Structure 1
């Protein structure tokens, strides 16, 4: 079911009116306006603007205004037609207007006239823009990319004036204004400008894309810093900056060859979202009746939260009760679950994603909590985006260590129920865990490095392994340095392994300087620690290296060499992967493309060991010269190689 079906078949026409007729108030020549002629008597219209030249020529406007349900909208424009008008069934303060924009319509402004029988006419000027980029030129992320995940509030504070906004739209409504860097769950002041300021640093490390956690307004009473409780889906949080700041970040990143990925949330919003005080439909959010009972009596034992049983999406034996409790329950009590089965909500979410792609010139979307929303809607959502932007990329979060569940969500999966997600990329939590287990465990027949070997063997299940995203850690789990018990050598081995796999690579900010959560393992506030040097009074500055320990500087250098080589390696981006079962504490993975071969050697032996290279004869390296990627030393690939110490060795034929 595609977006046009939501618009064309599921809306109920509740107002009978002949649209497009001449009006005493406007004439056809008046409809294309200049920027300076903008006028509005309406509180809110979303999307706030749109574009000409889409494949899908439909558009639905959400109009919110006191008693707007008593008004009839009219548009007098030869290329723009009102196809249907719908009222909310829970509030008279909403109209949903379905428009059709004819092919070839020129960009410009036109007036929407709202009339009622009391002669209290209202006018709103709406803008259709020209598209800055054609659909095919929106190039997404892929296996050639290394993505830098950032918690914006904790990365860098470049503009202290927006710490407590005083001029931004909606600032009077922001509930959590206090900046307190001593509180791990309060706002610390990091902002968009802080990311933009340090793009050179990010690029120098070898990253080719950035993924900031959500930057939209989180007008919540507490814990608003993380961004996942959005209270305005069309507004950059004033504490992060402005829309202009976000667009500048996008442009400057692209100028440096860095792609921008937007973190979006289709499953839920924040409890303080403006529509929660005036819901347009009786089913705008899931369990809405329970919510109304809940707020009437906060001590009432009313079911609201999800059961978090995500396997119900694939389970052929699942009960409807369990399935509904997963997809219709709220993520937590402060994050209302959006009802994507409501066609107006479905269209709202799809249009919002497209609006941000066009507005910020995005290269990709990371979609939060992917298995929680209605899965048929998620297929429609991804399908609508990929139909409009065929070279775009979307990655979905499925936090599972079971490859069967992860693979289910990737486009092209051979699912028994016939489900096709239209989702290009999924997050490989299973492989993330296997690498950690492999390095933490002692070596035996079924423990240690064999976990990586058998983990990659599961790739037969995936529709496209190289389009999956692997990572050492993220904003919701302990830092990789913590997971590996503070072992620097094991951390280097892990990072190199993730980087050499047939995958898209993502690293969390601070991994390159051994940031950790030893004090309170797993504590989200600590995991999302301030990046040293991001604040003017920081005594340590990781951007310049000032105050870093020798181990931190060494790791920073290691990551820089690793990712900058990876950036230019066709063998790692596209090459065939061949690996050999671990033997005597050594695991070897090859990536081969044309005349380039990259060799990853993981050695867990604390004492010198010799590796018989004749075992790898099928790779065809005998007699060839290879270079150690980290040291620059050259060696001849003959009968054997001696490994003097525990660690990782990366060799390449590209000298």
Structure 2
């Protein structure tokens, strides 16, 4: 089996010269982000590929001293070298292999220099896992748990600090590394599963060999290597396998827009146009509207797409076809290697638009049932919807992106709960936002969320009001779409007094051996409110597991009246009914009522959705009602009912 622990996934080679055989030491260099090539060393990206892919071509980025002028030959009959291309650097060569009809095998490429010396590269063409192409991605029946790995749990203290990496563990520093890792997530898979989460999305865990603030993972310095302070490639693969065995999928966070300034591309750039703005910092305008503005000028579009976030995040030029290929193949490589159930794409709209079309289409061609969610941080539904596949657009842009993060609904929920009820404020904000779902290709495949790693926690956004938190979580875990919950939201974690990301991403209590007083995994030390919140999330998520057909189906809502907002989730016509039953009556729908004022509410108001013989059961206390009853609800309450 291919060794995924090799140095930056380097392929060691033999240089046929009057020199001693050079062998790269994976032991001595595995923890050191040193990018100077050793004599005779060759690196190949991607480090392996598979036979039987939908697209039979794979372009190898070969990195080695003075390799650009080498001739390439392949000693095999059914795999062909179809293209060889050198760019500006003398140390890069791009070699395209055509694997049409090929079986799994160990390929041997020979690189011949002008002086007749040769280097050989052994390249694994592997057999795909059974059913890999038809893998099913995450969907509306799922619930996603978002984790900041460095802040969740420290399962292996031995990798807290690694030689050669400057950013050391300092748990007292809000912007420092705290020691959380892959093993910490594996150790607590039972907690994640017991809460009702069926997917895990972690912030990026690829190598971030930055001098400081490296814990968040968004400054990639090696696209093919897990940061050793989180673990190894093998550890990540093992995590995905163990999660899958527990019925939990793994969604990988990918960054296509930029790299970290310590990436080796900044020392030895494949081509002059590899990094936007000639490799010099020019800040992005963040004006995403320019991509859609019919009156926009080209410089505004370029200012958005080609600008850098910060000087330590060089902006990639995906218009370069070899870089585009590299990013596409890297995504496919991780899906195959780690058996992923989904991808979340950071800062989705910032890369080149044409490249995003190519990237999503090629991924979805390989995996037609897969799911990818893009982060488009706009509260304008028209801009968000633009990127989702199947949406109606103002132009002929081809997007194959299945899902988008629903920032418009998140903002609407917070605004609604923090506003008084009137004809144009309060729950009407949520109602009007959902009424724009006609813009989306598939609104039920949007990812909905109360908060995430880049904004204040929902408990803080709602003024640390437990009732408002309950209404927000009830709504977002039962409305249309796929819910995502940020770790700690289930125990009312907040960030009162600071909007610093290091505070927002505070340590999950119980994840460190020294956390003796409070442990959210076991419940030790949690106060009554925190325990209640944890159980509330668990109960709401249990609904998705028990009645998945309801959450794959329709949302039908009533316009809010006097601070009461009511909606139903029901299965599509013809969908298989739930096997769960009570007294032989199958579940037809769930009804959710959110109300700000105390109210006596006649259920006959919902006669369009309730039939005369329906039995209505409140999940919080099991109390039963008839469609002709009037129910009394206290102020600021969120009630969920099962309709049989």
Q: Calculate the TM-score normalised by the size of structure 1.
A: 0.89
2:120 pairs with 1:123: yes
3-state SS in 2 of match to 1:263: strand
Give 1:34-53 correspondences, 5 Å limit.
41-53=40-52
User: Following TM superposition, by how much is the alpha carbon of 1:506 offset from its aligned partner in structure 2, in angstroms?
Assistant: 0.5
Whole-angstrom CA distance in 1 between matches of 2:272 and 2:133: 39
* Residue matched to 2:447: 469
Give per-residue Cα distances to partners, 1:105-133, cap 9 Å, x unaligned.
Answer: 12121211111232321111111110013
Equivalent residue in structure 2 for 1:618, among 605, 608, 619: 608
User: Following TM superposition, by how much is the alpha carbon of 1:639 offset from its aligned partner in structure 2, in angstroms?
Assistant: 3.9
User: Following TM superposition, by how much is the alpha carbon of 1:553 offset from its aligned partner in structure 2, in angstroms?
Assistant: 0.3
* Residue matched to 1:79: 78
3-state SS in 1 of match to 2:437: helix
Tell me, yes or no, if the aligned pair for 1:135 and 1:388 is still in contact at 8 Å: no
User: Following TM superposition, by how much is the alpha carbon of 1:280 offset from its aligned partner in structure 2, in angstroms?
Assistant: 1.1
Whole-angstrom CA distance in 2 between matches of 1:370 and 1:102: 32
Tell me, yes or no, if the aligned pair for 1:350 and 1:381 is still in contact at 8 Å: yes
3-state SS in 1 of match to 2:84: strand
Whole-angstrom CA distance in 2 between matches of 1:576 and 1:230: 40
* Residue matched to 1:503: 481
**Count of residues in Structure 1 that have an aligned counterpart in Structure 2:** 592
Tell me, yes or no, if the aligned pair for 1:42 and 1:122 is still in contact at 8 Å: no
2:92 pairs with 1:94: yes
* Residue matched to 1:111: 108
2:624 pairs with 1:634: yes
Equivalent residue in structure 2 for 1:548, among 515, 526, 531: 526
3-state SS in 2 of match to 1:113: strand
Give 1:158-557 correspondences, 5 Å limit.
158-165=155-162, 171-172=163-164, 174-176=165-167, 178-288=168-278, 291=280, 304-520=282-498, 522-538=499-515, 539-557=517-535
Equivalent residue in structure 2 for 1:143, among 129, 140, 144: 140
2:600 pairs with 1:601: no
User: Following TM superposition, by how much is the alpha carbon of 1:634 offset from its aligned partner in structure 2, in angstroms?
Assistant: 2.0
Give per-residue Cα distances to partners, 1:342-382, cap 9 Å, x unaligned.
Answer: 01001000000000000000010000101100011101000
Give per-residue Cα distances to partners, 1:559-597, cap 9 Å, x unaligned.
Answer: 001101122224532232221122222111111226521
Measured on the aligned residues, the alpha-carbon RMSD in Å equals 1.4
User: Following TM superposition, by how much is the alpha carbon of 1:504 offset from its aligned partner in structure 2, in angstroms?
Assistant: 0.8
Residue ranges of structure 1 left out of the alignment (5+ in a row): 1-24, 26-39, 166-170, 292-302
Tell me, yes or no, if the aligned pair for 2:379 and 2:408 is still in contact at 8 Å: yes
Tell me, yes or no, if the aligned pair for 1:431 and 1:470 is still in contact at 8 Å: yes
* Residue matched to 1:132: 129
Q: Calculate the TM-score normalised by the size of structure 2.
A: 0.90
3-state SS in 1 of match to 2:394: coil
Whole-angstrom CA distance in 1 between matches of 2:161 and 2:637: 47
3-state SS in 2 of match to 1:112: strand
3-state SS in 1 of match to 2:68: helix
Residue ranges of structure 2 left out of the alignment (5+ in a row): 1-15, 17-38, 572-576, 578-586
Tell me, yes or no, if the aligned pair for 1:154 and 1:531 is still in contact at 8 Å: yes
Tell me, yes or no, if the aligned pair for 2:610 and 2:627 is still in contact at 8 Å: no
3-state SS in 1 of match to 2:247: coil
3-state SS in 2 of match to 1:287: helix
Q: Residues 100 and 571 (structure 1 numbering): CA distance in 2 closer, same or farther, change over 3 Å?
A: closer
Deviates more, 1:257-266 or 1:568-577: 568-577
3-state SS in 2 of match to 1:189: coil
* Residue matched to 1:70: 69
Tell me, yes or no, if the aligned pair for 2:259 and 2:314 is still in contact at 8 Å: yes
Tell me, yes or no, if the aligned pair for 1:186 and 1:225 is still in contact at 8 Å: yes
Give the ranges of 4+ consecutive aligned residues of structure 1 lying more than 4 Å apart after TM superposition.
none
Tell me, yes or no, if the aligned pair for 1:501 and 1:572 is still in contact at 8 Å: no
Give per-residue Cα distances to partners, 1:456-515, cap 9 Å, x unaligned.
Answer: 111121111001111000000000000000001110110110111110110100010000
3-state SS in 2 of match to 1:641: strand
Tell me, yes or no, if the aligned pair for 1:500 and 1:572 is still in contact at 8 Å: no
